[in-house]
A and B are shown apart, each in its own frame.
Chain A
Amino acid sequence: MSSRRSRSRQSSGSRNITDDQIHDLVSKLQQLLPEIRNTHSDKVSAAKVLQETCNYIRSLHREVDDLSERLSELLATTDTAQAAIIRNLLMQ
Chain B
Amino acid sequence: MPLYELYRMTKAKLDSQEKDNTYATDQSSSPENDFFELVWENGQISMQGKSSRARKSPVHKSLPSHSLPSHSPRTQYKDVGFSIDTRMGKLGHLDSGLNEIPISVPSDEMNLSQDEDMIPWLNYPMDDSLQHEYSFDFTRDVSGVTVNEFPSTSNNFALMDKRSSGNQVYKDSIRSPVPGVSSSEQAIITKGSSNGEVEPSGPKGNNSHLYPPSLQQCQTSFASSRPKISDSTENNTSNAILQAPCGEITQTPSSSSGFCSLNMQKHDPLCPRSSSNMMNFSHFARPAAIVRANLQSISMMSGLCSARSESLGTRKKDVDASSSNPPESTLIDLNNQKNCQKLVIDTSKAELKPANPKSLGQKADFANQFDPPCKEDGARKNNQISDQVPTGSGDKGQPAVEKSINPEVASSSVCSGNGVKRGSDNANKNLKRKSQDTEDSECQSEEVEEESVGIKKVAPARGTSSKRSRAAEVHNLSERRRRDRINEKMRALQELIPNCNKVDKASMLDEAIEYLKTLQLQVQIMSMGAGLYAPPNPMMLHPGMQHMQTPHMASFSPIGIGMQMGFGMGYGMSMSDMNSGSPRFPMVQVPQMQGTHFPVLPMPGPTAVLHGMPRSSPQVFGFPSQGLYMPMPNAPGVSMPGGPLMNPSSSGQNAFGAAGLRETVDSASASSLKEPMPNVNSQVMPSTGGSNSTVQISTQCEAMNVGIDQTPPVQTSGHTSNINDSGTTNPGKEDNLVIGND
Contact = CB atoms under 8 A, between A and B. Distances in A.
A45 B481 CA distance: 13
B614 interface: yes
A26 B516 CA distance: 13
B513 A72 contact: no
A57 B639 contact: no
B639 to A, nearest CB: 5
Contacts of A91: 614
B196 interface: no
B641 A92 contact: no
Interface of A, helix, strand, loop or mixed by DSSP:
helix
A84 B452 CA distance: 68
A67 to B, nearest CB: 4
A91 to B, nearest CB: 7
Interface string A52-85: 0110111011011011101110110111011101
A58 B496 contact: yes
B523 A60 contact: yes
Contacts of A92: 614-615, 677, 681
B117 interface: no
A7 interface: no
A71 B490 CA distance: 33
A39 interface: no
B350 interface: yes
A65 to B, nearest CB: 9
B178 interface: no
A89 B509 contact: no
B640 A86 contact: yes
Contact of A71 (B506, B512, B634): B634
Interface in A12-30: 18, 21-22, 25-26, 28-29
Contact of A25 (B513, B526, B636): B513
B485 A47 contact: yes
A26 B515 CA distance: 14
A10 interface: no
B629 interface: yes
B216 to A, nearest CB: 32
A86 B642 contact: yes
B506 A18 contact: yes
A72 B634 contact: yes
A46 B542 CA distance: 25
Nearest to A33: B516
A71 B526 contact: yes
Given A71-B530, A89-B642, A29 B490 contact: no
B636 A22 contact: no
A34 B390 CA distance: 44
Contact of A54 (B492, B585, B677): B492
Q: Which of A34, A66, A71 gathers the greatest number of chain B CB atoms within 10 Å?
A: A71
Contacts of B515: 57
B613 interface: yes
Interface of B, helix, strand, loop or mixed by DSSP:
helix
Contacts of A71: 526, 529-530, 533, 634, 636-638, 640-641
Given A61-B629, A71-B529, A89-B677, A78 B516 contact: no
Contacts of A47: 482, 485-486, 489
Interface string B727-742: 0000000001001101
B529 to A, nearest CB: 6
A67 B677 contact: no
Q: Which of A34, A67, A87, A91 gathers the greatest number of chain B CB atoms within 10 Å?
A: A67
B530 A74 contact: yes
B378 interface: no
Given A29-B509, A67-B530, A92-B614, A1 B346 contact: yes
A29 B527 CA distance: 22
B617 interface: yes
A40 interface: no
How many interface residues does chain B have, given as a range? 35 or more
A9 B32 CA distance: 59
Given A34-B544, A67-B527, A89-B613, A57 B740 contact: no
Contact of B512 (A46, A53, A63, A66): A53
B486 A46 contact: yes
A43 interface: no
Given A60-B519, A92-B681, A75 B636 contact: yes
Contacts of A61: 496, 519, 629
Contacts of A33: 516
A47 B484 CA distance: 9
B462 interface: no
A70 B739 contact: no
Contact of A51 (B489, B506, B513, B522): B489
B519 A75 contact: no
Contact of B523 (A50, A67, A72, A85): A67
B630 interface: yes
B510 interface: yes
Given A64-B526, A68-B630, A70-B534, A88 B506 contact: no
B535 to A, nearest CB: 11
A50 B493 CA distance: 7
A88 B675 CA distance: 12
Contacts of A18: 504-506
Interface string B217-249: 000000000000000000000000000000000
B622 to A, nearest CB: 13
Nearest to A79: B739
Nearest to A92: B614
A90 B736 CA distance: 18
B635 interface: yes
Contacts of B489: 47, 50-51, 53-54
Interface of B: 346, 350, 364, 482, 485-486, 489-490, 492-493, 496-497, 504-506, 509-510, 512-513, 515-517, 519-520, 522-523, 526-527, 529-530, 533-534, 540, 542-544, 547, 585, 613-615, 617, 629-631, 633-644, 676-677, 681, 736, 739-740, 742
12 contacts: A21-B506, A28-B513, A32-B513, A61-B496, A63-B527, A64-B630, A68-B638, A70-B540, A74-B530, A82-B644, A86-B642, A90-B613
Interface of A: 1, 4-5, 18, 21-22, 25-26, 28-29, 32-34, 45-47, 50-51, 53-54, 56-58, 60-61, 63-64, 66-68, 70-72, 74-75, 77-79, 81-83, 85-92
Closest 10 CB pairs of A and B: A71-B637, A50-B489, A67-B526, A25-B509, A68-B634, A74-B533, A60-B519, A72-B633, A47-B485, A92-B614
Given A34-B547, A90-B639, 10 more contacts: A29-B513, A47-B489, A53-B512, A67-B523, A68-B631, A68-B638, A70-B533, A74-B534, A81-B739, A86-B613
